Amino acid sequence: MKPLVFTLCLLPLAWLGWAGMNDGLGANPIEFLIRTLGDWALRMLLVALAVTPMRQLTGWGWIGRLRRMLGLFAFAYALLHVAAWIGVDQFLDWGTIGREIAKRRYILVGMSAFVILIALASTSTNGMIRRLGGRRWRLLHKSVYAAGILASLHYLMMVKVDIRPPLGHIVILALLLGWRVIKALPAPTPSGRR
Ligand code: HEM
C-alpha cells in the first residue's frame, strides 16, 4: 500500500508541474500555484487525521502505518505553499513579507499552523520518538489538532466571497475531531450512566 499511497500523494504536484510547463495555470499562475499547494496541504492534513477514525471503524490496523507518510506530505505541500508565497509572490523581499504578516491576520494564523507542522515533521522519526519518550511524543503530536484548526481558520479568513469551500473543510475537521472526543468519553455503565 505504501508505494501506491506515496505515488497518489505526488500526483497533485506532478499535475502542477505539468500544467506549469504547458501554460495551464490560468490567468494568475502565481495565485493558482499558491492556492493549489495550500489546498493540498490542508487536504493531506485532513486525510492524515482521518486515519485513526478509519482504523477504528474498519478494524484495518495497516492503515495506521500510512499516517506518518500522509502527515509528512501535508508538511511538504505546506512547505511548498509557503516557499511559493515567499519566493515567487514576494520575491524574497523580507520588508514586504514583514508588512504582509503584520497587515493580514490570516497569514499569521497560517504561520502558526506551519510552525506546528515543522515541529511535528522534525520529530516524526523513530529516533525522535525514542529520544522524546512515547508519552511526551504523543502529547506533542496532539498539536496536530491545533494545526488542523489553525489551517482551516487561515483558509476561512482569507476567503472574501464564497465561504462554502473553507466551511466544508471545517465540517470535515469537526467530524474527525468530534469522533476522537466521543471515543475519549468513558464507556456507559450497564445502568446507562457514564
Ligand atoms: C507561513 C505560513 C503560511 C503562509 C505565509 C500562507 C500564505 C497564504 C496565502 C498568501 C494565501 C492566499 C493566496 C491568495 O491570496 O491567492 C493562502 C491560502 C491558503 N493557504 Fe496558506 N499560508 C501559510 C500556511 C498554510 C498552511 C500550514 C496551510 C495548510 C496546512 C495552508 C493552507 C492554505 C489554504 C487551504 C489556502 C486557500 C487556498 C484556496 O483559496 O483554495 N496555508 N495561504
For the segment 110-145, what is each residue's pLDDT rounded down to a tens digit?
999 999 999 999 999 999 999 999 999 999 999 999
Q: What is the pLDDT of residue 98?
A: 96
Query: 192 C-alpha to center of ligand 1: Å?
Result: 46
46 pLDDT higher than 60: yes
For the chain, what is the domain count? Answer: 1
6 found inside a domain: yes
63 found inside a domain: yes
Domain span at 161: 2-181
Vertex 78: Cα angle to 63 and 101 (nearest 5): 145
189 found inside a domain: no
Which protein residue has the closest C-alpha to ligand 1 atom 8? 107
191 pLDDT higher than 90: no
Which protein residue has the closest C-alpha to ligand 1 atom 43? 38
Vertex 12: Cα angle to 8 and 16 (nearest 5): 150
Q: Which residue has the cell 490496523?
A: 61
SS3 171: helix
Task: Tell me the torsion sign for CA atoms 16, 117, 168, 158.
Answer: negative
193 found inside a domain: no
163 found inside a domain: yes
Query: 111 C-alpha to center of ligand 1: Å?
Result: 9
Q: What's the predicted TM-score (pTM) here?
A: 0.94
132 found inside a domain: yes
Vertex 140: Cα angle to 78 and 151 (nearest 5): 30
Q: What is the pLDDT of residue 1?
A: 86
Burial class (CB in 10 A: 0-12, 13-18, 19+), 137: middle
Per-residue confidence band for 192, with pLDDT thresholds at 50, 70 and 90: low
Q: Which residue has the cell 511559493?
A: 84
Query: 33 C-alpha to center of ligand 1: Å?
Result: 11
Which protein residue has the closest C-alpha to ligand 1 atom 40? 35
192 found inside a domain: no
103 found inside a domain: yes
193 pLDDT higher than 70: no
Rounded average pLDDT over 28-47: 97
Ligand 1, CB cutoff 6 Å, lining residues: 31, 34-35, 38-39, 41-42, 45, 78, 81-82, 85, 107, 110-111, 113-114, 117, 151, 154-155, 158
Query: 5 C-alpha to center of ligand 1: Å?
Result: 24
Average pLDDT, the chain: 95
Which protein residue has the closest C-alpha to ligand 1 atom 22? 110
Rounded average pLDDT over 42-71: 96
